[in-house]
Amino acid sequence: MFVIGFARNALYRNSLYLTGSSKTTLTISRDNTLNQAGVSNFKIAVNNSNANILLKDIDSLHPVGGGPNATFSCPADDGVTYSLSFTNPNLSATFPAYGCQFVTVNNKTSYQSSSKFRNDITNATHQSYDPDTNF
């Protein structure tokens, strides 16, 4: 079943295969662009094991539906943004902490976030994903 799911998602990504290796590196940043009190910025280097878990998480995300002309309203977006920067493979992903939480991969394709993805970020950074718990 995993093979079928992986093939399906790889097709969604226009043959973007996310295969990590023993040399995969990852940096995760959190930016508080609205300077909310009590929400810290950080930039953390993540170990290879967690980097590969997060690559698999990204591969399991589903594309945002609605087509190229879809309009979304994300009123709960609080200005806190996460950025993931991988090497080997060269991949970047960004997404807001709140609101729609769409994950944008390599600045062009958006996917629906998942609770597993957010929990794995918490595990990898040892920081709460929910910035409101940092007060």
Residue 18 has pLDDT above 70, yes or no: no
| 71-126 pLDDT per residue, tens | 777 777 788 899 999 988 899 999 888 888 889 999 888 898 899 999 999 999 98
Q: Total structural domains in the chain?
A: 1
Q: Is residue 79 part of a domain?
A: yes
| Structural domain span for residue 111 | 2-128
pTM: 0.77
Whether residue 133 is contained in a domain is answered as no
Quick check: is 135 in a domain? no
Look at 5-19, 56-70, 76-90 and tell me which has the smallest mean pLDDT.
5-19
Exposure string of 69-102, with b = 16+ CB inside 10 Å and e = fewer, is: eeeeeeeeebbbbbebebeeeebebbbbbebbbb
Whether residue 75 lies inside any domain: the answer is yes
Q: Are 77 and 34 in contact (CB under 8 A)?
A: no
- Is 18 part of a structural domain of the chain? yes
37 or 93, which is more confident: 93
